[in-house]
């Protein structure tokens, strides 16, 4: 079957760069009406221009929204739905890490900010997408987790616990929303060669540690993740829900990366 998002509306949070941008572009190339959101208007405008330059059969637009601010993410969901009157797909990609290091030295504010952005931001995005999907009795949600949420990566515990929460949010939401024909899945990327991870992928002991722990022995690309997300969001995956999908070159088969090596 050929994946087709023609006449479907899609919201991608964190769509201004990296995995979010690549996935938004793939949705547009597959015919979707895509809205991206993020906190920086200039970055969003650049992403829209980049996607438009590829002349996709779908459409692309943007709205400034912080996923941790409920009114803003609610407005982003409504805007994304305005093209057809419904919201078909949410890819909740926005996230980040505001703490890294030993637990005993942790800055509580950085830990709270990490949980707020990743877990609460994903919850608010899902809440307001589902608000629009339930009346339509249809929808697909993909949440952005991480391999760090599935198995320990030394010193990345604050980020990892917030991502583990996203995986549990996924399974709870899949159970609750299934009766409304809404599917919810999450993806757990390994290390991806994008601007967010540039300090690591440029080389060094931490990158070497990552590669050593991956059976496939290479960095991921944003397109690797985009391909999996668009599949999970598509009708080709219509009997898949509640899955936490590792996309990591097999990293989950071994041990997590040792982030203390970034500072060694």
pLDDT per residue as tens digits for the range 108-166: 999 999 999 999 999 999 999 999 999 999 999 999 999 999 999 999 999 999 999 99
pTM of the entire predicted model: 0.98
Strand-pairing partners, residue 13, are: 37, 92
pLDDT category at 1 given cuts 50, 70, 90 is: low
pLDDT given at position 263:
87
* Homologous superfamily in CATH for domain 9-191+221-251: NAD(P)-binding Rossmann-like Domain (3.40.50.720)
pLDDT at 196: 86
Q: Summarize pLDDT for 218-251 with one digit per residue, the tens.
A: 999 999 999 999 999 999 999 999 999 999 999 9
What is the set of active-site residues? 159
Give Cβ neighbours of residue 52 (< 8 Å, ≥ 6 apart): 60
The mean pLDDT value for 84-95 works out to 98
CA distances from 150 to 111, 130, 162, 192 (A): 18, 25, 11, 16
Token representation of residue 157 = 């515990």
19-78 pLDDT, tens digit per residue, is 999 999 999 999 999 999 999 999 999 999 999 999 999 999 999 999 999 999 999 999
SS (H, E, C) the chain: CCCCCCCCEEEEECCCCHHHHHHHHHHHHCCCEEEEEECCHHHHHHHHHHHHHCCCCCEEEEEECCCCCHHHHHHHHHHHHCCCCCCCEEEECCCCCCCCCCHHHCCHHHHHHHHHHHHHHHHHHHHHHHHHHHHHCCEEEEEECCHHHCCCCECCHHHHHHHHHHHHHHHHHHHHHHHHCEEEEEEEECCECCHHHHHHHCCCHHHHHHHHCCCCCCCECHHHHHHHHHHHHCHHHCCCCCCEEEECCCHHHCCCCEHHHHCC
> What pLDDT is attached to residue 2?
82
Task: Write out pLDDT tens, residues 181-200.
Answer: 999 999 999 999 998 899 99
Confidence of residue 264 (pLDDT cuts 50, 70, 90): confident
């Amino acid at each position: 079957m050929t994946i087709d998002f023609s006449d479907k509306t899609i919201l991608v949070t964190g769509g201004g760069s990296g995995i979010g941008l690549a996935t938004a572009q793939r949705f547009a190339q597959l015919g979707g009406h895509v809205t991206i959101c993020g906190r920086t208007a200039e970055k969003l405008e650049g992403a829209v221009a980049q996607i438009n330059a590829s002349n996709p059969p779908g459409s692309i637009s943007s709205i400034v929204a912080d996923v941790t601010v409920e009114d803003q993410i609610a407005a982003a969901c409504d805007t994304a739905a305005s093209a057809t009157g419904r919201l078909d797909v949410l890819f909740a990609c926005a996230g980040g890490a505001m703490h890294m290091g030993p637990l005993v030295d942790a800055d509580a504010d950085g830990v709270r900010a990490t949980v707020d952005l990743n877990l609460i931001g994903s919850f608010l995005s899902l809440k307001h997408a589902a608000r629009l999907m339930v009346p339509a009795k249809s929808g697909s949600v993909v949440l952005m987790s991480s391999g760090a949420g599935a198995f320990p990566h030394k010193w990345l515990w604050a980020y990892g616990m917030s991502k583990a929460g996203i995986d549990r949010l996924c399974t709870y939401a899949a159970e609750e929303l299934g009766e409304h024909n809404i599917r919810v899945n999450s993806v757990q990327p390994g290390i991806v060669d994008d601007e967010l991870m540039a300090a690591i992928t440029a080389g060094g002991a931490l990158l070497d540690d990552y590669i050593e722990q991956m059976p496939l022995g290479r960095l991921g690309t944003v397109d690797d993740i985009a391909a999996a997300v668009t599949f999970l969001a598509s009708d080709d995956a219509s009997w898949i829900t509640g899955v936490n999908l590792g996309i990591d070159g097999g990293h989950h088969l071994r041990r997590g990366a040792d982030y203390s090596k970034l500072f060694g």
